[in-house]
Amino acid sequence: MRIGIDIDDTLTDVKDELYQAAKDYAKQLGNKIEEITDLEDKNNNGNKWQEVFHFNYQELKYFLKDIQEEITNKALPRENVVDVIKKLKEDGNEIIIITARDSEFHDDPYKYSKDWLDKNDIYYDKLVVNARDKQKTCIDEKIDLFIDDSKANCLAVASSGINAIRICNEVKADENCFNNWQDIYDYIKSNYNN
80-104 pLDDT, tens per residue? 999 999 999 999 999 999 999 999 9
User: Do both 131 and 172 map to the same domain?
Assistant: yes
CA nearest to 191, candidates 183, 172, 90, 134: 183
Say what the pLDDT of residue 172 is. Answer: 55
How sure is the predictor about 163, in pLDDT bands with cuts at 50, 70 and 90? very high
User: Do both 64 and 87 map to the same domain?
Assistant: no
pLDDT tens for residues 16-55? Answer: 899 999 999 999 999 988 877 666 666 666 678 888 899 9
Residue range(s) defining the domain that contains residue 119: 2-12+76-191
Say what the pLDDT of residue 42 is. Answer: 63
Say what the pLDDT of residue 83 is. Answer: 98
User: Do both 118 and 155 map to the same domain?
Assistant: yes
Average pLDDT on 65-71 reads 93
Q: How many CA atoms, within 13 angstroms, populate the side-chain half-sphere of residue 122? A: 27
User: Do both 61 and 110 map to the same domain?
Assistant: no
Domain total of the chain: 2
**Collapsing DSSP states into helix, strand and coil, what is residue 123?**
coil
pLDDT tens for residues 168-192? Answer: 877 655 667 898 999 999 999 999 8
Q: Given a cut of 70, is residue 193 above it in pLDDT? A: no
Q: Average per-residue pLDDT in the chain? A: 91
User: Do both 58 and 116 map to the same domain?
Assistant: no
Say what the pLDDT of residue 74 is. Answer: 96
Say what the pLDDT of residue 69 is. Answer: 93
User: Do both 137 and 89 map to the same domain?
Assistant: yes
User: Do both 70 and 102 map to the same domain?
Assistant: no
- Of 129 and 41, the one with more pLDDT: 129
Residue ending a domain, choose from 46, 74, 102 = 74
Q: Which amino acid is at 50?
A: Q
CATH of the domain at 122: 3.40.50.1000
User: Do both 84 and 126 map to the same domain?
Assistant: yes
